[in-house]
Structure 1
Amino acid sequence: MPAVPFEDYVASLGRLTAVNDPTAPTPEAEDVKDAVASLEALDAVDRESLAAWVLTHPEQTYVLALVVGLSREKMKNHLRNWFNTASWRKAALGQSAELVEKLDEEFDLVRLLRTQRNLTYTFGDVLVARAGTRATATTAGQSGRRIEDELEAIAQSLKLPYVPRARFEGRNGRTAPADLAVPGTGRDCVIAVAAKGFDSTGSKLSDAVREIEEMADARTGGQVALAVVDGIGWKGRMADLKRIWGLWDTGEIDGLYTLATLDQFRTDLANFASLRGVARLP
């Protein structure tokens, strides 16, 4: 059968998912309502009562994440970070008190649950909650920029010329992305830095790995490649993280850092800039 014209093929594409009716009952919605009913039935809300609730409702523990504005996926990422497991059931049964303590210390669980149990919600509140994914996406973008901002601040403190979010040219005219290029872009780039921070998992992490690999593959022997990679989202993509680490281990990139080791990054950046003759700004 001969291929149809590309335009006809594109025009034949349809939606795979059904139209979503947010008011329609679903098993997931009923599970949330059951969990809420049991939380509303608690005589008191404190760490002890919630630890007991978690222990008797391990499958519904994810609802506590919803109370503090976390998605299930983000809850899993925090569980990996805290307890080396993505299973809220396992954490609930094995470390119920510690789980509640973490949620309360880092996300103010007890206060938020007390407050929300006693509120009356309007139609506007419901729509605002449904629009919350947009706010979450904005917050995720801001957290992704945190590392870039930190790196720019370090370059400024060292009085190094740089260009953010650029491309540099390496061997045989190959180009690659750099979240920070010192002192400039294209052939002028002497030090290329990747900044990749994620607290959630997804395709962006794979894209980040690919960009760092492109950077390592393109750079010449006279260029320096560094990467600052952080965020608990990587704990859900350990194979990808190990690929980045492997580039460092084999010398294909010259340094790998987290926010906790930015002091070392600052020292290395200053040393590499000095060795490569990058002039400081007046």
Structure 2
Amino acid sequence: MKKITQTTPGLLNKLSALETDWKDDFSRRVLVFLNKFESVNDDPWTLVRLLDEDFETASTIIRLFLEVSKDEYNTLLRSLFSDSRSAGKSGFKANPLGYVETLQTLFLSGKIRDTINRTYTWEDILTERLKGGRGSAIKGQKRGRELEDYVEAIVASVFSEYEARCSFTGMDGISTEKADFAIPCREKPEILIEVKGYGATGSKQTDVIGDVNRIIQEKRHDTVFLIFTDGVTWKARESDFRKLVDFQNSGYLYRIYTKKLSAEFKQDLMLLKEEKGL
């Protein structure tokens, strides 16, 4: 074979799109099953029959009507049912009507009817495509930022001096690490607060442990370190959450808070303000 010297422009001109069909066998099952949902009404048995016929496919379509990801749907189920078994096919088989009646607390039948009866335009179609791509990522980002804003409002009600979303100076006085709040300042923080909010996908939960561990390794030992987190997705990642609790139990961080512990969070900040003369 004759030797040649290839060039980037030459090869770029030879590239072509790798077309692929997004539909696999399960997707085709879903598409075939869609029309059966036209029979759904306020009678819960209409949904019972569909779930009984093909639980996995019907559950996927229900999730699509609710406009949630698979992770979000599983999280919803865990919040509605007492345990993972009750939330799945076994729970449905054990009590079909009870299972559907529990789903109806999400106003499921109404959402199904509204979706089926709606007249769609090309703008609606493109909006849905945008939501499916950028939308899922943006929702996760917004959840995290909204929790940060929630925590900042509490911090600001207690302290006149603090720095948000900054890199604080570590114990050696040279290296730095990121934290959501440093009180009173990043150069010599007396209190560090890290905020982690999750409500959908669980893919980043493990990263939380790494973030927290880096702060623990970098901060002075006498700097108070607080964690504020929330989101029922943690229930699906108990092993990771347990690591946070282990940090707290071992004294590496002072306390973990959630929105339901907001009063305690503010009270503790007020106590720390007095103790440290801030």
Q: Does 1:54 align with 2:51?
A: yes
Q: What residue in structure 1 maps to residue 171 of structure 2?
A: 171
Q: Does 1:41 align with 2:39?
A: yes
Q: Offset of 1:91 from its aligned partner?
A: 4.1
Aligned in 2, Cα 1:275/1:95: closer, same or farther, shift over 3 Å?
A: farther
Q: Distance in 2 between matches of 1:181 and 1:93?
A: 52
Q: What residue in structure 2 maps to residue 194 of structure 1?
A: 194
- Name structure 2 gaps, 5 residues minimum: 1-7, 12-16
How many residues matched?
A: 261
Q: Distance in 2 between matches of 1:68 and 1:217?
A: 43
Q: Offset of 1:248 from its aligned partner?
A: 0.3
Q: What residue in structure 1 maps to residue 4 of structure 2?
A: none
Q: Offset of 1:30 from its aligned partner?
A: 1.7
Cα deviations by residue, 1:113-156 (Å, 9 ceiling, x for unpaired): 11112234344433322221222322221111222111111112
Query: SS at 1:171's partner residue?
Result: coil
Aligned in 2, Cα 1:49/1:266: closer, same or farther, shift over 3 Å?
A: same
Q: Distance in 2 between matches of 1:244 and 1:18?
A: 43
For structure 1, which segment, 225-234 or 53-62, has the greater mean C-alpha deviation from structure 2 after superposition?
53-62
Q: Distance in 2 between matches of 1:169 and 1:97?
A: 58
Cα deviations by residue, 1:75-99 (Å, 9 ceiling, x for unpaired): 1222233333286433433454454
Q: What residue in structure 1 maps to residue 29 of structure 2?
A: 31
Contact 1:176-1:211 within 8 A present in 2 as well: no
Aligned in 2, Cα 1:97/1:211: closer, same or farther, shift over 3 Å?
A: farther
Aligned Cα root-mean-square deviation (Å):
2.8
Q: Offset of 1:181 from its aligned partner?
A: 1.3
- Name structure 1 gaps, 5 residues minimum: 1-7, 12-16
Cα deviations by residue, 1:205-230 (Å, 9 ceiling, x for unpaired): 22221111112222223210000121
69, 72, 77: which one aligns with 1:71: 69
Q: Percent identity?
A: 25
Q: What residue in structure 1 maps to residue 129 of structure 2?
A: 130
Contact 1:217-1:252 within 8 A present in 2 as well: no
Q: Offset of 1:46 from its aligned partner?
A: 4.2
Q: Distance in 2 between matches of 1:121 and 1:171?
A: 59
Query: SS at 1:38's partner residue?
Result: helix
Q: Distance in 2 between matches of 1:196 and 1:245?
A: 14
Q: Does 1:209 align with 2:196?
A: no
Query: SS at 2:172's partner residue?
Result: helix
- Alignment map for 1:1-282 (pairs within 5 Å): 19-22=19-22, 25-42=23-40, 44-60=41-57, 61-83=59-81, 84-85=83-84, 88-94=88-94, 96-106=96-106, 108-133=107-132, 134-173=134-173, 174-185=175-186, 187-278=187-278
Q: Distance in 2 between matches of 1:34 and 1:94?
A: 27
Q: Distance in 2 between matches of 1:68 and 1:177?
A: 37
Aligned in 2, Cα 1:21/1:256: closer, same or farther, shift over 3 Å?
A: same
Q: Offset of 1:267 from its aligned partner?
A: 0.9
Contact 2:30-2:60 within 8 A present in 1 as well: no
Contact 2:65-2:112 within 8 A present in 1 as well: yes
Query: SS at 2:196's partner residue?
Result: strand
